A = this chain, B = another copy of it.
Amino acid sequence: MKPDDPGRKAIVNISVESRLLGENDLLAAANRRAFNRRGLCVLNLVSSPGSGKTTLLVETIQALKDRLKCAVIEGDQQTDYDARRIAGTGVPVVQINTGQGCHLDAGLVGGAVARLDLDGVDLLFIENVGNLVCPSNYDLGEAMKVVVASTTEGDDKPLKYPAMFHNASVLIINKIDLLPYIPSTLAALKDNALKINPSLTVFEMSCTTRQGMDVWCDWLLENAQQKPAS
């Protein structure tokens, strides 16, 4: 095969991609061992930009504060706005800015964990960069991926971006308070998600009206203490 053969380029690119994912998986496994040693439950929150992940975290942390000790790693391309919102709740938080990067990886998370005071923490949330595509491929060492889909994004997103819904264990349907004003339906969104991944645990919620927050918090109380990373 000549050096400029298009087939050769494809092979080079695939092998680089495989190597990067391989390195990530090794680091993710190390993160997972460290989380297990601490008895820490780690949830990786993924979604489109603006689905309401940070508001979900603020409301969840406040609802659980007397029962479960939380910490947060915040991922964004730029700004520390989200970390500052989380810091307002009083829990430990570290911001990662990915710059041009479109997702967190296990190495970035390992570095952030080293900067967090995890003493007595039961539950660590990782808020990924808002991106419904790339973060689906990157294991961070979490116990599970929680995908947040807002009703305003339309009910066809699980079918159009299936990898994320396939790789998640939990689906939070957020902004259900806006359903009366939009053409999408809750039933279609849920049906489409379950077509991609029938084993999803689904919560219906509005983080602004707090509808559905109790059911989610009860689930966290039950699961965060029983399910370390596996």
Whether, in the assembled complex, A102 has its beta carbon less than 8 Å from a beta carbon of chain B, the answer is: yes
Contact A79 B130 (CB under 8 A): no
Chain B residues with CB below 8 A from A77, complex form: 133, 160-163
Whether, in the assembled complex, A152 has its beta carbon less than 8 Å from a beta carbon of chain B, the answer is: yes
Report which of B49, B100, B163 forms a contact with A132, defined as CB distance below 8 A: B49
| Interface core residue of A134, A137, A162 (most chain B CB under 10 Å) | A134
Copies in the assembly, this chain: 2
Task: Tell me the bound Cα distance from A156 to B81 in angstroms.
Answer: 9
Please classify how large the interface on chain A is, using the bins under 10, 10 to 19, 20 to 34, 35 or more.
Answer: 35 or more
Interface-lining segment among A26-34, A56-64, A178-186, A217-225: A178-186
Q: Quote the shortest CB–CB distance from A175 to chain B (angstroms).
A: 7
Whether, in the assembled complex, A78 has its beta carbon less than 8 Å from a beta carbon of chain B, the answer is: yes
Task: Tell me the bound Cα distance from A49 to B47 in angstroms.
Answer: 9
